[in-house]
Each structure stands twice: as C-alpha cells, then as structure tokens.
Amino acid sequence: HHPSLSNLEVEGQPIAPAASSIALGRRSPFDVGKWLGAHLARPANCFGDGAKDCIFAPYFPPEDPHKFAIVHKVFGASNVNKMLQELPVHQRADAVSSLVYEANARKRDPVYGSVGIISYLQNQISQLQMQLAFAEAELLCIQMQQERALANQHVIDIHEPSSLFCATASQAFLNPST
C-alpha cells in the first residue's frame, strides 16, 4: 500500500498534486505531486527511459515520499538530478543521505541548518578538551605529590611552585567560571 498524494505534507502544509510547487515554496514548473505520483506508480516516463532508469528511484522509495519532498523543497529536483548524474554510482546513496540530513536540518533551523549543529558540537568538543586538560594537569599534580610522599617528603609546602600550580589547577577545574 502506497501513501496517497492527498496525505502528503511538508512542514505541516499539504502538498496537493496541482499546487505542489507552490506548497513547497518553489516557482519552478516542477510539480512534486506529479513526480511523486509518477514515482509511486512507476510508469515508463519516470525521469528516464523507465522506472529502472530513474536516477531517483534507488534513493527515494515510494514508501517514503516525504524524503523526496523535503530534499526537493531545499535543493530542487533538477539540482539533485544534476548532482547525482555527476557522481559515481557508488557515491550516490551517501550523497542522498547527506542531502536528506541537510534538508531536515534546514527544516529545523532555516538560518544555520547543519552548520548550527556542527558549531554546537565543536563548542562541546572544545569544552570537553579543556576539562580533559584540567583533569590531566590535576592527575599530574597528584602523581607528583605521591612521588614526594614516597620519597619521605610527607610535608607538602603550598609555597612550592608545583604545589601552588596543583592547587590553582584543581580550583580552576572545580570552578571553571572563576
């Protein structure tokens, strides 16, 4: 059972076969509803010499028409077609996967798309790297203090540079905002 065209929506807006380009915010003559209808039925005129030759068929299955709709909305079917034509066949599935990811990221964040996600993750990485550096410094201080204790230097002088560094590093790690 294939989904009917009357049930398709993008961003909560129905995609009517006759008005799908308008519903998707496109002014191009490409009609998503027409394409989806053709794609769902797999007729001989499916973007090629037949459904088996349709460049979209392997990557946009009829069971998931929303996948094509969102990619078309963001990139345009003709652009995706050109891109896929230029890629070797073995790279096309990964390219479509990336396009779907980026299209969904654009839907969630129209301004930054996947760049916003990347920026957020890079910021998290930087913070974690800083915490790791503090933890490594604290570990080094503890190891130095243990070595001194084993050498019968049980008294730790807080005025000794390495002890002062350890106290400062520990304080900075525990209270990074200060």
Q: Band the pLDDT of 151: cuts 50, 70, 90.
A: confident
- Judge whether 27 and 21 are in contact, CB under 8 Å: yes
Residue 115 parent element (H or E): helix 114-150
Q: Is the pLDDT of residue 43 over 50?
A: no
Q: Are residues 145 and 126 in the same domain?
A: yes
Q: List the domain range (segments joined by +) for residue 32.
A: 5-108
Q: Are residues 123 and 98 in the same domain?
A: no
Residues 77-106 pLDDT 10s: 889 999 999 999 999 999 999 999 999 999
Residues 1-37 pLDDT 10s: 334 334 444 444 444 333 333 334 444 444 555 555 5
Q: Are residues 96 and 157 in the same domain?
A: no
The residue from 108, 125, 144 where one domain ends is 108
Q: Report if pTM > 0.85.
A: no
Q: Are residues 41 and 95 in the same domain?
A: yes
DSSP state of 62: T
